[in-house]
Amino acid sequence: MPGELCEKLLNAAEKKSKYAEVRFMELEGSGAAYRNGSFEGAAYSKSSGYSVRVLNNSLAISFSNSENFTELSRALDVAVERSMIPGKSRLVTKSDGKKEWVVSGSKKVDNVSLEDKISMLRDNDILMESLGASVRMNYLSDRKVKQVFMNSEGSEIKGEFSRVSYFYFAGILDSGEFEQSTGEFGSTGGYEYFDALNLRDRITDDIGSIKKAMHANHMKPGKMDVVIGPEISGIVAHESAGHPTEFDRIVGREGALAGESFLTGKKLPMKIGSEAVSVIDDPSMKGSYGFYVYDDEGIRSRKRYLYRKGFTDEFIHNRESAARQGVEPNGGGRSSSWNMEPLPRMSTTYIEPGDYSFEELMEGVNDGIYVKNFTEWNIDDIRFNEKYVGKEAYRIRNGEIAEQIRRPIIETNTIKFYSAIDAVAKDVEFFAGQCGKGDPEQGVDVWMGGPHARLRDMYIQ
């Protein structure tokens, strides 16, 4: 039976190392796609394997998907031999004891027929076409994960969970003009997530807005007040609060890949914005796309303030980065598969809601813009210089929403953005995404979100 060699492999590994751990993961995923009125196809994958990490004079990991103990021993020996060569060798080796956790949702992924999934895709494709989208792609997928973590300090954590996700791309072509939009939704649990999502309403609103946007005017660049929507709050929290507080980036471990952090080498805590701004990463938020009870290194998950009232606060850690800072790991060690190393990763990252209503935010703006959501975005590798192109956006005049505008650009830096926030609304909304990091690159499921917020005196292009 896949996974039954964990204990035997750990016993062998701990005899040859100062510290050892064994991870087993089984991932079973299925998906289907619809493109431009045609069923695209369906896919299923089942993958499982072991990862054994040993610490001696340095750290080494072997990954193998064999269920033959002789072959696994051979893989272990490669790691042990290499771990005798000097290198970095700090790791928090604690145990969280023996625990088990399960999340499968009320409408389990195994209980939803492929026919029903395809119907959902087809119905949304038809809806998009009726709304005028000539380019349409719809993807639905689900995944079941079983994981076991054991270490030489006595940890034995077993977890099982499932996730569901939906992604669409829509493009409208009219008189040589083109507007495109994507939507991504996901949850840890089962298909009950879609029952309350109102996906068809969301698609209808989204396509309706880009249809109008393509005939709207670009605005004249200049300084003005800006109200941002939850989707912008979310991407900003993820890109310029979550990533720069991953502690492996701060100490240079990702320097040649995903990059370092603008916090590298800075005196901490550091002021990053106004007192109105707090940003949280919380893997323990039930139902979220990044939910888990124990991370992939057997550490209990918990809520963390990354920025608190305008200052840096806690950092995202795995066992290795925690040892570098001299603190306890805080449940941020995530791995997308059995054959990927756990790295400090985000889960659900969001700007903490404040006290304002949306109307109160708007009332305080005489001449500005409301940027509800975004299309193109990017950020530099220290997570400082960033750009968000508005997808659905409007002028604000005397506290009221006025005419729609096309693709306004917020191109600024992290400190300026968070410092310009003077008011944060009570509402909060979350969006799903895939976050990439590491080499080999591994994507993990995340939510990002937040409330509406008001920024003063921003330069808009």
Partner 1 sequence: MEVNENILKILRKKDLSEYVVATSVTDTDQVRFSVDSKDLFNHWSEKSAAIFISKGKKIFSTTISNVTAPELEIDKAVSVLNTLPENTNYMGLSDKKHSYGSLRKFKKIHADIDEMASTVLNSALNAGSDRVAGLVYNEFSTVYLDTQINEVEYSEGGLHILVRSFSGEGTGQESSHLGFDSKRSTNELEKMGREATETAKLGTKFSEGKPGKYDVLMSPYLVGNLMTYGSSLFSAYNVDAGMSCFEKKVGQKVASGIVNLVDDPLNFNGDAAIQVDEEATPTKRLPMIEKGVLKTYLHSTSTARKFGVKTTGNAGIISPHPWQLNMLPGEENFDDMLHDMKHGLFIKNAWYTRFQDYRNGIFSTVPRDGIFTVENGEITGSVRGIRISDEIPRILMNIDQVSKEQMNVKWWQEIHSSFMPYVHVRDISISRSF
Q: Which of residues 262-321 bind partner 1 (CB under 8 A)?
A: none
Site residues for partner 1, window 124-143 (CB under 8 A)?
134-135, 137
- 141 to each of 129, 185, 283, 431, how far by Cα in Å? 22, 11, 21, 16
Using an 8 Å Cβ cutoff, are 381 and 260 in contact? Answer: yes
Q: Counting contacts by CB under 8 A, is residue 93 touching partner 1?
A: no
Whichever of 47 and 274 has its CB closer to partner 1, that residue is 47
Asked if 110 interacts with partner 1 (CB under 8 A), we say no
Binding piece for partner 1, criterion CB under 8 A, among 143-151, 173-181, 272-280, 293-301: 173-181
Q: Residue from 142, 156, 386, 422 that binds partner 1 (CB under 8 A)?
A: 386
Looking only at residues 28 through 57 of this chain, which bind partner 1 when binding is defined by CB under 8 A?
Answer: 35-36, 38-49
Distances (CA, A) of 137 to 29, 115, 145, 182, 431: 20, 18, 26, 9, 18
Nearest in space to 164 (alpha carbons), one of 184, 147, 182: 184
Residue choice 152, 240, 339, 347 for contact with partner 1 (CB under 8 A)? 339
Residue 83: closest CA among 56, 64, 63:
56
**Residue 115 binds partner 1, judged by CB under 8 A:** yes
Q: Which is nearer to partner 1, 308 or 456 (CB)?
A: 456
Q: Is 78 in the site for partner 1 (CB under 8 A)?
A: yes
Report the residue from 129, 173, 327, 434 that binds partner 1 according to the rule CB under 8 A: 173
348 binds partner 1 (CB under 8 A): no
Residue 80 and residue 84: Cα distance in Å, rounded?
Answer: 7
> Smaller CB distance to partner 1: residue 199 or 235?
235
Q: Does residue 59 touch partner 1 according to CB under 8 A?
A: yes
Least Å distance, CB 447 to partner 1, is 20
Applying CB under 8 A, does 111 fall inside the site for partner 1? no
**Cα torsion through 404, 407, 408, 409, rounded to 10:** 160
Omega into 269 within 30° of 0, i.e. cis?
A: yes
Interaction between residue 206 and partner 1 (CB under 8 A): no
Contact status: 397 vs partner 1 (CB under 8 A): no
Residues 409-428, interacting with partner 1 (CB under 8 A): 409, 411-413, 416
Q: Is position 66 an interface residue for partner 1 (rule: CB under 8 A)?
A: yes
Q: Which residue has the tokens 């298909």?
A: 191
Amino acid sitting at position 16:
K
Q: How far is the CB of 285 from partner 1 (least distance, A)?
A: 27
Binder of partner 1 out of 153, 377, 404, 456 (CB under 8 A): 377
Q: Is 12 in the site for partner 1 (CB under 8 A)?
A: no
Is 252 near partner 1 (CB under 8 A)? yes
**Minimum distance of partner 1 from residue 96's CB (angstroms):** 23
**Quick check: 33 and 137 in contact, CB under 8 A?**
yes
Q: How many beta carbons lie within 10 A of that of residue 202, not counting itself?
A: 13
Which CB, 163 or 249, lies closer to partner 1? Answer: 249
d(CA 243, CA 307): 12
Least separation in angstroms between CB 294 and partner 1: 22
Stretch that binds partner 1, among 112-120, 188-196, 279-287, 344-352 (CB under 8 A): 112-120
Beginning with the edge strand found earlier in the chain, give each strand of the sheet holding 429-437 in spatial order.
311-312, 304-308, 279-281, 348-351, 442-450, 429-437
Token pair 């240079």 is found at 252
Is 135:171 a contact under the CB 8 Å cutoff? Answer: yes
327 binds partner 1 (CB under 8 A): no
Residue closer to partner 1 (CB basis): 48 or 93: 48
**What are the b/e assignments for 446-461, b being 16+ CB within 10 Å?**
bbbbbbbbbbbebebe
Question: Is the peptide bond prior to 440 cis by the omega test (within 30 degrees of 0)?
Answer: yes
| Whether 246 contacts 344, CB under 8 Å | yes
Tell me how far, at minimum, the Cβ of 59 lies from partner 1, in Å. Answer: 5
